[in-house]
Amino acid sequence: MRTTETKPLDSTPTTSPPASVSSPAAPSDPGPARPRARDALAGLASERLEVELLDLSARMAAGTYELLVLVGELDARGTWAVQGALSCAAWLADHCDIEVGTARTQVRVARAMREFPALDAAMANGDVSYAKARVLVPHLSEGNVDDLIGLAERNPAGRLGVAIAAWAQRNEDPDVLAARQHDARSVSWRTDPDGTVVLTARLAPEAAGVVCAVIDTVVTRADAPAGASLSQQRADALVTAVTAGAAGDGTGAGVEVEVVVHVTEDGNRLPDGTPLSDHAVTALLPDAFVSLLMHDAARQPVDASPRRRSPTRRQRRVIDERHPECQHPGCHARALLQYDHIDPYGTGGPTVVANLQRLCGPHNRARPTHSAP
């Protein structure tokens, strides 16, 4: 029986040496190839540039598929837990230096590839890209997998979400669809490197229609500054609608809130770390209440009285400053944290900073005994 040896596409055929002849030692692994310098592309013909770009894109797609297969295997084996990670996504974020949100998406797609062989095959063949798979996966089921993969193959990634939504309107029970959209509602925000805050709202279509209509109505009533783009006008309108009501007279707000600004020698920031300029803080001062947070010689916030069950405002700010993240090992949650007695209050634990920590809701509730936040 004759055996063949697989060779790279750009190599020339060679004959394997006889068994009695020893082959020369393989060269040492040169390591990962270095990216091509930009200067090397200066003399490249445009046609060749396009060919190489498409070739690299195809190889990246194949590499992404292989990466997801590895992620799925790691997730299934659960070896990440042995190393103390809370999840496979947390392990990926720490070891691959990626955002935890990106890692969660990779794990989600990898699991779907293992659950739905048709999706795995479509991605392996290059018919469905990772960009499309990210859109598909939250909506896949045994009953619709073939239909949705077909939509992915026929629609570009930028239009796939609309195509799936239209398919759902035609094929799903209206009550089930409405309940799922209601459960999916959410609002989140993050700070971008330029210092602006990006808000993301996920709303049912009828609610989104009302919100968008309010924003655009405020736009039409406002005197936009010269040169302002439509997106900038809508941003101003959103702020007006939320803080002063659609009429701009304060009748629509109705909610009093406290916005804490930390003014330190290292700069000004909001509790989530978003920096504020001195100019912005100065503009807030006329309507602000100024409270001093004292520090000791070790530059730690000063503690307060232990006599009450719930932390005082000063104690909460001390804990916020010391522990911006959930104190459960491996958890990095920073939003809606709760104040918890390390030594439970019910068994004599004092309400002092040394006995207080911040935990996210799930980890606080998971403790055998915990005090109310």
What tens-digit pLDDT sequence spans the chain (373 residues)?
334 343 343 434 444 444 433 444 444 555 556 677 677 777 788 888 899 899 988 899 899 999 999 999 999 999 999 888 889 999 999 999 999 999 999 999 999 999 999 999 999 999 999 999 999 999 999 999 999 999 999 999 988 988 898 888 888 888 888 888 889 999 999 899 999 999 999 988 878 888 888 888 888 788 777 788 889 999 999 998 888 875 555 554 544 556 677 777 777 777 666 777 777 777 777 766 666 555 666 666 555 444 566 777 777 777 787 778 888 888 888 777 888 888 777 777 777 777 888 888 788 877 765 444 4
* Radius of gyration of the chain, Cα coordinates, nearest whole angstrom: 28
Residues 6 or more apart from 67 whose CB is under 8 A from it?
106
Question: Taking the domains of the chain in order of start, what are their residue ranges?
Answer: 46-177, 186-244, 258-289, 291-373
**Is the entire prediction scored with pTM above 0.75?**
no
| Residue 255 burial (CB count, 10 A) | 7
Distances, alpha carbon 355 to alpha carbons 123, 190, 333, 341, 351, in Å: 52, 30, 20, 6, 6
pLDDT of 92-114, one tens digit each?
999 999 999 999 999 999 999 99
* Residues 179-189 as b or e (16 or more Cβ within 10 Å = b): eebeeeeeeee
Residues 115 and 138: their CA atoms lie apart, in Å, by: 13
